[in-house]
Amino acid sequence: MIPNITLKNENIDQIGIVVRNVRAVAEQLHTLLGIGPFRVLEWPIQGIDPESTLHGQPARYSALLAFARVGALQLELVEPRAGRSIWSEFLAEHGPGLHHLRVTISNFEETVNAWQAAGLKNLASGTGVHVGSKWVYFDTGNLLDGIVLELRKRMDDATGEGQWATEGIQIGAS
């Protein structure tokens, strides 16, 4: 049995979409829906060990990411760049589209270990775009009809987001 995360104090806080061109999609979302500004940055962050894995093995890959707030949720656009990644695999198999839902949790290590012990496969993991953050994508596609769940370590600041590791560039800034 897979231990659950009771969302009493935690929420789904991000929707992740894999795209072919982050800048073009961010600009169109800003034009069509007024979403933005988007913070666009390269991952991994230069000078920070990404500690990246793919299917349980150390791996090197990169992506261009864009983040914007849409109400209480963060929208993340992911453009796979170099190397084989969970995102490049998704794009090759499905084309662009909804990739994951993210939950930021306080008991990150405990929950990651419990989910793995219950048989959920760690598809990919690494360090995040906030100083000290970590993330893990779990293979929940068979449970959620193709949707992957991402767990993220809650940071100590009031929002749980933490400090951005880099400023990146802005798209759709007023």
**Alpha carbon distance 1, 114 (integer Å):** 10
Per-residue pLDDT at 162 = 78
Per-residue pLDDT at 2 = 66
Query: Considering the domain boundaries, does residue 16 fall inside one?
Result: yes
Tokens of 50: 């990404």
Are 35 and 76 in contact, with CB atoms under 8 Å apart? no
Per-residue pLDDT at 167 = 82
Query: Considering the domain boundaries, does residue 29 fall inside one?
Result: yes
Query: Considering the domain boundaries, does residue 100 fall inside one?
Result: yes
**pLDDT tens sequence across 1-32:** 666 665 555 688 999 999 999 999 999 999 99
Instruction: Please state whether the predicted TM-score (pTM) of the whole model is above 0.75.
Output: yes
Confidence of residue 103 (pLDDT cuts 50, 70, 90): very high
**pLDDT tens sequence across 34-92:** 999 999 999 999 888 999 999 999 999 999 999 999 998 999 999 999 999 999 999 99
Query: Considering the domain boundaries, does residue 92 fall inside one?
Result: yes
118-150 b/e (C-beta count within 10 Å ≥ 16 → b): eebebbbbbbbbbeebbbbbbbbeeeeeeebbb
Query: Considering the domain boundaries, does residue 3 fall inside one?
Result: no
Per-residue pLDDT at 3 = 62
Query: Considering the domain boundaries, does residue 5 fall inside one?
Result: no
**pLDDT, average across residues 148-160:** 83
Query: Considering the domain boundaries, does residue 147 fall inside one?
Result: yes
Per-residue pLDDT at 106 = 86
Strand-pair partners of 12? 103
Per-residue pLDDT at 165 = 84
The CATH number for 62's domain is: 3.10.180.10
Query: Considering the domain boundaries, does residue 125 fall inside one?
Result: yes
**pLDDT, average across residues 117-124:** 91
Per-residue pLDDT at 132 = 83
Count the domains in the chain: 1
Per-residue pLDDT at 26 = 97
**Alpha carbon distance 20, 32 (integer Å):** 18
Confidence of residue 158 (pLDDT cuts 50, 70, 90): low
Q: Which domain holds residue 115?
A: 12-171
Tokens of 158: 């009031």
